[in-house]
Amino acid sequence: MNQINKDNVQLAINILVRAQAHDQNLDMEQWQDYRHFRKTPFTREKKVYECGMACCLGGYIAVSPEFQADGGMVGINGYPVFDIYRGAKAVAEWFGIRQPDAKVLTGVIRHNRLSEYRGKALRDITFDDVIAVLERLRDTGSIYPD
């Protein structure tokens, strides 16, 4: 596995802060909640903001101009695609982290060691919860508390 790409982790923090500032909703249960608005996922952040659609961490990353400028794109169900990888694996590659950690971070699998997520339904995880984990990853190299 590559070394953690702290710059991309910081970009993800910025992406979530920006979404939060646009009064967006976070829904860790799905990449994009596009089915209420259209038949296919949105591919641009601006369109997500215009309709007020909820996304998870990976969904917001996928539609971001930062991810797309780095070669990423939006997959058929709104998941991120990076190089030959999709979903949590794409997030793992973009961040330079292990795939199991990316699955926990994106909500694909639940893990009780992640204190910010512990005891919460995926739909109840907040922007601040995810940002705290991303900041820990950036600062310590791990998504898990000591």
Question: Residue 35: pLDDT above 90?
Answer: no
Quote the CA–CA distance of 144 and 68 in Å, as a whole number: 28
Residue 144 lies inside a defined structural domain of this protein: no
Q: What is the mean pLDDT of residues 108-116?
A: 63
pLDDT of amino acid 97: 97
Domain that holds residue 77: 6-138
pLDDT of amino acid 1: 47
Residue 20 lies inside a defined structural domain of this protein: yes
Quote the CA–CA distance of 21 and 18 in Å, as a whole number: 5
Residue 19 lies inside a defined structural domain of this protein: yes
Question: Residue 95: pLDDT above 80?
Answer: yes
Quote the CA–CA distance of 67 and 83 in Å, as a whole number: 11
**SS3 label, residue 41:** coil
| Residue 114 pLDDT grade (very low, low, confident, very high; cuts 50, 70, 90) | low
Residue 10 lies inside a defined structural domain of this protein: yes
Single-letter amino acid, residue 24 = Q
Residue 146 lies inside a defined structural domain of this protein: no
Q: What is the mean pLDDT of residues 99-115?
A: 77
Residue 48 lies inside a defined structural domain of this protein: yes
Residue count of the chain, please give it.
Answer: 146
Tally of domains in the chain = 1
pTM: 0.92
Sheet containing 73-74: order of strands: 73-74, 80-82, 85-86
Mean pLDDT over the full length of the chain: 90
Question: Residue 38: pLDDT above 90?
Answer: no
